[in-house]
Chains A and B, each alone.
Chain A
Amino acid sequence: MLTKTPSLSVLALAITLAGCQQSEGPQGDKVTINKNPYPSTYQPLPRQSTLITNATVLTGDGQRIDGGDVYVVDGKIQQIGTDLQVQADVTLDAQGKWLTPGLIDVHSHLGAYPNPAVASHQDGNEMTSPVTAEVWVEHSVWPQDPGFNRAREGGITTLQILPGSANLIGGRGVTLKNVPAHTMQAMKFPEAPYGLKMACGENPKRVYGSKGVLPSTRMGNMAGYRNAWIDATEYKRAWEKYDADYDAGKNVQAPERDLTMDTLRGVLDGDILIHNHCYKAEEMAMMIDLSKEFDYHAGTFHHGIEAYKIADLLAENSSCAALWPDWWGFKMEAYDMVQENVAIVDAVKNSCAIVHSDSDTTIQRLNQEAGKVMYRANENGFNIDEAHAIKWLTSNAAKALGIEDKTGTLAAGKQADLVLWDNNPFSVYAKAEQVFIDGAKVYDRHDEKYQAQSDFMLGQR
């Protein structure tokens, strides 16, 4: 089987560049690349203006409002405060209940590794080449994965689906609104930037080393990334030269298009955000230097088991760290877990700590995952309250996905993505009672009408 290695793509690029020359005669049409060929068709579900009163409100940006009211009109948060004097189509008395922004999971494989987890559904890792920036995980998403419904029942309103971590550069991730739909496009979060999955450490070197292909070592991993970014830098330069020459009125031939390079160039242009599976402190530090070497932002580190060892460095580099509270020991690079990892990362100024799932089960209980961190940290010298801890699942997660201007906090003008909890959400007994996306009720624990079921589960029980 012919695999496309970085060295081959360098060769391809050299040929392409040679072809990018000025010709005689008048200019043809300018060649441009459509950056959004699979656009979102998402439409909010039917909705009414809604006033939720008397809740313990955690705003997602560190505030707590006891006896708080939130007023939602046309899918947006209109007002937030106490004793709001407004008229709404629906008023919900939330006495004794808690209201938070919709939870955001920055690391999910729902739809790409769906349930049932049969061989025909294994669509999350394009394990045929160590650099597959050309694949887009949205093209693997099966919207009928029952896991989407289960996640919504746990308060997840937004989630990023990522390719797996077999490859050094695994492909584009996609951010979805967690609404029931039968096409991927109908879930796609409008105007959310794309993500690009990268992976450090054991997985790529194991997968390709076992095939006798680079990388088989961690130094091979680094060489693989660097070769890819060298190609991408040349590709970007070629297109920029073409654009400049064309705009200067020259009759130039456009560079040959390369799907892999389109995505990498998107990162260099700042349009696509890096999401880097990277467990170990020394590797994260090198990935930050790598990003500087090629002038892009290192983005968010996912699964950083050792993030606590470099909390300062992460904050200095404005990198978010998306972490588990307590997973460990399943492989060597996951051995140095501490239960306070999220809290230690979070304690540094300008930090961006996130609790993520990477799991079809814990995505259903991200609130409990955060609760574990909060309580273990508080037992060991931290002083974290609910209003702060909820940021790990809301505003910080929105920041990592580049959608912090749209969702992740309860503030006037933001999308009304909300979860009404029957209890303090950091209790093991807390359950999401009602979930709203863009002001539309998408789940109600006490009303079957708002409990979606996937095609797959229909008629099975």
Chain B
Amino acid sequence: MKLFTMTSVAAALAMSVSAGAQTLAITNATIHTATEQGVLKDASVLIKDGKIVAVNPAQIDAEEVIDAQGKILTPGFIGSLNHLGLVEVGAVDGSRDGSDKKASITFDPSLAFNPRSSLIPYARKGGITRDVIVPGGSEDIFNGLASVVSLSGEFDSVSQKHVALAIELGQKSKGSRALSMQTLIEKLDGHKQREKKDSDAHNREIQVLDAVFAKDMPLLIGVSRAAEMLELLKLKAKYDINMVFAGAHDAVLIAEQLAASNTPVIISAMDNLPGNFDSMHADLANAGKLEKAGVKVILTIAGDSAHNLYQLRFDAGNAVSYGMSQQGALAAISSNVAEAFNIDAGAISAGKAADLVLWSADPFELNAKIEGIWIDGEKVSTEARQDKLRERYTTPSDMPRGYTK
């Protein structure tokens, strides 16, 4: 297969035309593609202008060639369902922008995304290269719009705006969950039956709902009980829209219906306690069971998933430990996320963003270390503020630590 070759002259020419045009090849890698191709041994990948242009090209001709020496190369992992770049310190109100109790359908927290947050380089330590930031915590059932960010740390790192509309159903601290479901049904019904007007172009809410009905944007719904998910699947069929379920503790009870309706679920692999009466079926084996039933599983970190995002690979390892396939777990933190939210990344195949991680060992293992990480083809660092602190306090000095920088 010869998808792309480039002579050095052409490369030089390309360089002169566009400063950003660069070619990089990573050769001799064990590529975990997160595609149907599975694992490719002694494989190479060619990258140009931030995109993967070929896997295993017949000829390697690139400005920079990295010999992976047989090590594992994976797509960069994609986090989801968190406030990365929207929070610095959880309990510091002024540093929190991921939620607003007045938020509704059009709330767009990506406007507050801070690419310079100290959480971002730290998350890169876990091989995370992209993330779906999702608002939460509105008094309305509509929490607002999810967006995709890259973890480059650059100011242009909101890479795709408005990839899902976030909705919270299920148990409420006051009142009935029925009212939440009813609100959603009425909103969808109302939108379907309304007459189009010229002023629609200026109405953000209508545009968002249009995007939902055009299947450009799934509803990302926090819901746990099987009965509620089944009710939602009826709506999904009725309106021919896309849905992603998050939490989904009862998903194992309706795995067949989820698979048949092509409804992905976002779960935490570590969730195995009955935190409330919606989560009696939380279990470490759920991820594997859902995978076997043909459900697209996406793994997310439970709890403070922004600060702890780097741990996603360990969650994937635990999912494998309890029955998920190795490749299924990889997909659950890369290609399945990309598919659910229409992200052009999350797999090692031609055309995808060159978000790549080279690992010293099995990437799900505690002992694995990152040997190289690229976002949009650019090499990025895993050094974080935490490393500076460690160095300060482990470097001998006669002077107070404040002088060690």
A-side interface residues toward B, CB under 8 Å? 115-118, 146-147, 150, 202, 308-309, 326-332, 334-340, 344, 360-361, 364-365, 368, 371-372, 374-375, 379-381, 426-431, 456-457, 460-461
Stretch at the interface among B28-36, B149-157, B276-284: B276-284
Given A115-B273, A332-B92, also A428-B307 (CB < 8 A): no
Chain A proximity mask over B278-320: 1 for CB below 8 Å, otherwise 0:
0011000000000000000000001110111011001001101
Q: Which residues of B contact A326 (CB under 8 A)?
A: 308, 310-311
Residue of A nearest to B362 (CB): A428
CA distance A331 to B270 in the complex (A): 23
Q: Which residues of A contact B401 (CB under 8 A)?
A: 309
CA distance A173 to B10 in the complex (A): 72
B393 at the interface (CB under 8 A from A): yes
B9 at the interface (CB under 8 A from A): no
CA distance A326 to B92 in the complex (A): 19
Given A329-B304, A429-B317, A429-B321, also A340-B390 (CB < 8 A): yes
Residue of B nearest to A431 (CB): B321
Of the candidates B272, B304, B306, B318, the one whose C-beta lies within 8 Å of that of A428 is: B318
Q: Which residues of B contact A371 (CB under 8 A)?
A: 366-367
Find residues 77-91 in chain B having any chain A CB closer than 8 Å to their own CB.
87-91
CB of A36 to closest CB in B, whole Å: 32
Q: Is the CB of B274 within 8 A of A309?
A: no
CA distance A372 to B92 in the complex (A): 28
Q: Is the CB of B389 within 8 A of A428?
A: no
Q: Which residues of B contact A118 (CB under 8 A)?
A: 276
14 more contacts with CB within 8 A, not counting A344-B390, A361-B303, are: A326-B308, A327-B308, A328-B307, A329-B90, A332-B89, A337-B386, A340-B390, A344-B393, A360-B273, A365-B270, A368-B366, A428-B321, A429-B321, A430-B321
Question: What are 18 of the A-B contact pairs (CB < 8 Å)?
Answer: A115-B275, A117-B276, A146-B274, A150-B273, A326-B310, A329-B88, A331-B90, A344-B393, A344-B394, A361-B273, A365-B318, A368-B366, A375-B366, A379-B369, A380-B394, A381-B394, A428-B318, A429-B321
B374 at the interface (CB under 8 A from A): no
CB of A72 to closest CB in B, whole Å: 28
Q: Which residues of A contact B277 (CB under 8 A)?
A: 116
Residue of A nearest to B313 (CB): A428
CA distance A328 to B277 in the complex (A): 29
CB of B404 to closest CB in A, whole Å: 12
Q: Which residues of A contact B365 (CB under 8 A)?
A: 427-429
Of the candidates B274, B303, B367, B386, the one whose C-beta lies within 8 Å of that of A457 is: B274
Given A328-B307, A460-B280, also A380-B390 (CB < 8 A): yes
B265 at the interface (CB under 8 A from A): no
Residue of B nearest to A454 (CB): B274
Of the candidates A117, A338, A375, the one whose C-beta lies within 8 Å of that of B386 is: A338
CB of B332 to closest CB in A, whole Å: 15
CB of A388 to closest CB in B, whole Å: 15
Of the candidates A327, A361, A430, A457, the one whose C-beta lies within 8 Å of that of B270 is: A361
Size class of the contact patch on chain B: 35 or more
CB of A244 to closest CB in B, whole Å: 49
Q: Which residues of B contact A426 (CB under 8 A)?
A: 366-367
CB of B365 to closest CB in A, whole Å: 5
CB of B371 to closest CB in A, whole Å: 11
Find residues 194-221 in chain B having any chain A CB closer than 8 Å to their own CB.
none
CA distance A22 to B306 in the complex (A): 65
CB of B37 to closest CB in A, whole Å: 25
B364 at the interface (CB under 8 A from A): yes
B119 at the interface (CB under 8 A from A): yes
Residue of B nearest to A118 (CB): B276
Residue of B nearest to A460 (CB): B280
Residue of A nearest to B302 (CB): A361
Residue of A nearest to B173 (CB): A119
Given A335-B89, A428-B366, A461-B280, also A330-B307 (CB < 8 A): yes
CA distance A81 to B369 in the complex (A): 35
Given A330-B91, A428-B366, A429-B320, also A117-B393 (CB < 8 A): no
Find residues 348-405 in chain B having any chain A CB closer than 8 Å to their own CB.
364-367, 369, 386-387, 389-390, 393-394, 401
Q: Is the CB of B89 within 8 A of A331?
A: yes
Residue of A nearest to B88 (CB): A329
Of the candidates A329, A338, A381, A427, the one whose C-beta lies within 8 Å of that of B119 is: A329
Which 5 A-B pairs rank lowest in CB-CB distance, beginning with the nearest?
A428-B317, A331-B91, A329-B307, A330-B90, A371-B366
CA distance A39 to B389 in the complex (A): 46
Q: Is the CB of B321 within 8 A of A115?
A: no
Q: Is the CB of A375 within 8 A of B367?
A: yes
Residue of A nearest to B314 (CB): A428
Q: Which residues of A contact B275 (CB under 8 A)?
A: 115-117
CA distance A330 to B320 in the complex (A): 29
Q: Which residues of B contact A116 (CB under 8 A)?
A: 274-277
Residue of A nearest to B273 (CB): A115
Q: Which residues of B contact A457 (CB under 8 A)?
A: 274, 280
Q: Which residues of A contact B273 (CB under 8 A)?
A: 115, 146-147, 150, 360-361
Q: Which residues of B contact A338 (CB under 8 A)?
A: 386-387, 389-390, 393
CA distance A309 to B395 in the complex (A): 12
Q: Which residues of B contact A147 (CB under 8 A)?
A: 273
Residue of B nearest to A145 (CB): B273
Q: Is the CB of B89 within 8 A of A428?
A: no
Residue of B nearest to A332 (CB): B89
Q: Which residues of B contact A117 (CB under 8 A)?
A: 275-276
Given A329-B307, A337-B386, also A461-B281 (CB < 8 A): yes
Residue of B nearest to A309 (CB): B393
CA distance A374 to B274 in the complex (A): 31
CA distance A344 to B281 in the complex (A): 40
Chain A proximity mask over B52-87: 1 for CB below 8 Å, otherwise 0:
000000000000000000000000000000000001
CA distance A336 to B90 in the complex (A): 14
CB of B343 to closest CB in A, whole Å: 26
Find residues 119-170 in chain B having any chain A CB closer than 8 Å to their own CB.
119
CA distance A178 to B68 in the complex (A): 47
CA distance A308 to B320 in the complex (A): 34
Q: Which residues of B contact A381 (CB under 8 A)?
A: 394
Q: Which residues of A contact B310 (CB under 8 A)?
A: 326
CB of B93 to closest CB in A, whole Å: 11
CB of B289 to closest CB in A, whole Å: 13
CA distance A308 to B392 in the complex (A): 10
Of the candidates A332, A360, A427, A431, the one whose C-beta lies within 8 Å of that of B366 is: A427
Q: Is the CB of B389 within 8 A of A115?
A: no
Q: Which residues of B contact A429 (CB under 8 A)?
A: 317, 320-321, 365
Q: Which residues of B contact A379 (CB under 8 A)?
A: 369
CA distance A195 to B308 in the complex (A): 30
Q: Is the CB of A330 within 8 A of B89?
A: yes
Q: Which residues of A contact B394 (CB under 8 A)?
A: 340, 344, 380-381
CA distance A374 to B365 in the complex (A): 13
Q: Is the CB of A372 within 8 A of B386?
A: no
CA distance A408 to B173 in the complex (A): 43
CA distance A380 to B369 in the complex (A): 11
Q: Which residues of B contact A431 (CB under 8 A)?
A: 321
CA distance A285 to B318 in the complex (A): 38
CB of B92 to closest CB in A, whole Å: 6
CA distance A372 to B369 in the complex (A): 11
CB of A448 to closest CB in B, whole Å: 14
Q: Which residues of A contact B387 (CB under 8 A)?
A: 338, 380
Q: Which residues of A contact B89 (CB under 8 A)?
A: 329-332, 334-335
Q: Which residues of A contact B304 (CB under 8 A)?
A: 327, 329-330
Q: Which residues of A contact B91 (CB under 8 A)?
A: 202, 330-332
Residue of A nearest to B317 (CB): A428
CB of A153 to closest CB in B, whole Å: 9
